[in-house]
Structure 1
Amino acid sequence: MRFEGTQDYVATDDLKVAVNAAVTLRRPLLVKGEPGTGKTVLAQQIARAAGAPLIEWHVKSTTKAHQGLYEYDAVARLRDGQLGDPRVHDIANYIRRGKLWKAFTSPALPVLLIDEIDKADIEFPNDLLQELDRMSFDVYETGETVAARERPIVVITSNNEKELPDAFLRRCFFHYISFPDRETMQAIVDVHFPGIDKRLVARALEMFFQVRETPGLKKKPSTSELIDWLKLLMHEEMPLSVLAEKDVRKSIPPLHGALLKNEADVQLFERLAFLSRRG
């Protein structure tokens, strides 16, 4: 397959190269970037472009690597044994298949998303090294070996909350999704809002990038937050005059709750607007 983006996802040239290189090598594609830059959506769009099933494994702080392979429910087997359930005689009835097992045995070549791998314990990536290399693992309770029919397309996302081990990085093809420039952002907006007033977009983008470039900002607004903000501006039928003040240091943006996500940043803009009025 060749990934060229989709009608709902604007992929830059370097992102297309990264996806196609990872697919060719059948190496996991490790994608990093600011939250809200479309890392998770990328896996969904790759699956859509390839007509492949998508298997999603959303990692949490408590997630362990073995859960991606399988889990043996000994408690359920003990309970069924006490109740005289004949299922207890077959231990396979108590093996829960994990996301890697499902990807390895999928009838069609799947896209496997391991989302936000940096949320888990530092040993989590290392514990998956052998399985991602061999594309197989052993089920010790039943004595069987689960092997991939064909190496799945693996997309791994990270928000850089933790450094990943070098041995793990060596097995991946890496790509960092840079924050979109204004031209790319315009294309993204056009995909989400075809036919939107170009003057509204031009003014909104100018204010949006000014917000991002404000010194001292704790959390810069992301692409997804811009989309939410534009959706609100359109829903409220916000007149262009409201966006007439192009300098965000003089006037806090309307519906700023879609862009600013903590009180320190809101207070920063309130202080800037206050100082501007005093001046």
Structure 2
Amino acid sequence: MKFTGTADYVATPQLTMAVNAAITLQKPLLLKGEPGTGKTMLAEQLAAALGTELIQWHIKSTTRAQQGLYEYDAVSRLRDSQLGSDRVHDIRNYIVKGKLWQAFEADKPVVLLIDEIDKADIEFPNDLLLELDKMEFFVYETQERVVARQRPIVLITSNNEKELPDAFLRRCFFHYIDFPDRHTMQQIVDVHFGALKPELVQTALDVFFDLRTVPGLKKKPTTSELIDWLKLLLADDIGLDALQNKQGTQAIPPLHGALIKNEQDVMLLEKLAFMSRRRS
């Protein structure tokens, strides 16, 4: 199986090489990069390109590794025993399969996405070492061993909120998705909007990349926010003049709420606009 990108996803040669290397080595692909650089979307497009199922496990701060394997629903079994249900005699009725179990029992290799692994407790990655390495785990309640029928293609994303353990990193193929350069961003915009007015796109990209270089900006706008902003510009029929006008209050981009996501950055841009007006 080889990934070469899709019509809906712009993958750089470095990214496609990383995906195919992880598939060849049969190791999880650990993806890092700024939020909004397409880490999660890559899993969706990879599954589509390979014609297979995507199983997504979105990690939260409260997520435990055991939940990815299975959970034993003791509460339901207690309730059924009180009601005199026949189900209570088979403990398998109360084993809830997790995302890894679902991936392991698939008849053909699926894409398993473990999304934002750094949100969980620091021990979370270590608790999955054996399962991801050996592709098997033991169910203590039923005394059975679950072994993957077909080895899934595992993608793991991280936003670098926590450092991941060395033992876990050794078992992964790592790739950092760089923020798209101007040419790549143009390709991404073309994928989403097709034949858009070239002057509008170029001016919007100028504004976007200028914003990202503003010193002291707390949160730089990302690719997904650029796409949202362009959608709003089109929906509200914002003209080229509004983007090019950098005088007065228009020094801040129109509909900037799609790009700037906290009040400190808005105040910073207002201050820079005020200082620019005074100099002029």
| 1:28 and 2:28 matched | yes
Ranges in structure 1 where 5+ consecutive residues have no aligned partner? none
Aligned to 1:186: 186
| 1:82 and 2:82 matched | yes
Aligned-pair CA distance for 1:248 = 11
**CA offsets per residue over residues 58-85 of structure 1, 9 Å max, x none?**
0000000000000001111011101101
* Structure 1 runs, 4 residues or longer, greater than 2 Å off: 245-250
Aligned to 1:133: 133
Give the 3 Å change call, closer, same or farther, for CA 219–45 of structure 1 in structure 2.
Answer: same
**CA offsets per residue over residues 98-153 of structure 1, 9 Å max, x none?**
00000000122100000000000000000000101110001010011100012110
Matched ranges for 1:156-175 at <5 A: 156-175=156-175
What is the TM-score with the length of structure 2 in the denominator? 0.98
User: d(CA) in 1 for partners of 2:24 and 2:197?
Assistant: 41
SS in 2 for 1:108: coil
Give the 3 Å change call, closer, same or farther, for CA 56–5 of structure 1 in structure 2.
Answer: same
User: d(CA) in 1 for partners of 2:127 and 2:5?
Assistant: 32
SS in 2 for 1:155: strand
| 1:41 and 2:41 matched | yes
Aligned to 2:97: 97
Aligned-pair CA distance for 1:245 = 3.1
Identity %: 70
Aligned to 2:201: 201
User: d(CA) in 2 for partners of 1:160 and 1:127?
Assistant: 19
**CA offsets per residue over residues 13-66 of structure 1, 9 Å max, x none?**
100100000011110000000000000000001000000100000000000000
User: d(CA) in 2 for partners of 1:133 and 1:29?
Assistant: 13
Aligned-pair CA distance for 1:247 = 9.0
User: d(CA) in 2 for partners of 1:133 and 1:68?
Assistant: 15
Is the 2:31–2:39 contact (alpha carbons within 8 Å) kept by the matching residues of 1?
yes
| 1:19 and 2:19 matched | yes
User: d(CA) in 1 for partners of 2:264 and 2:175?
Assistant: 32
Is the 2:108–2:150 contact (alpha carbons within 8 Å) kept by the matching residues of 1?
no
Whichever residue aligns with residue 108 of structure 1, its letter is: K
Ranges in structure 2 where 5+ consecutive residues have no aligned partner? none
Aligned-pair CA distance for 1:10 = 0.1
Is the 1:203–1:246 contact (alpha carbons within 8 Å) kept by the matching residues of 2?
no
Aligned to 1:256: 256
SS in 2 for 1:138: strand
User: d(CA) in 2 for partners of 1:42 and 1:121?
Assistant: 25
Whichever residue aligns with residue 57 of structure 1, its letter is: W
SS in 1 for 2:125: helix
Aligned to 1:222: 222
Q: How many residues are treated as equivalent by the alignment? A: 279
User: d(CA) in 2 for partners of 1:105 and 1:131?
Assistant: 14
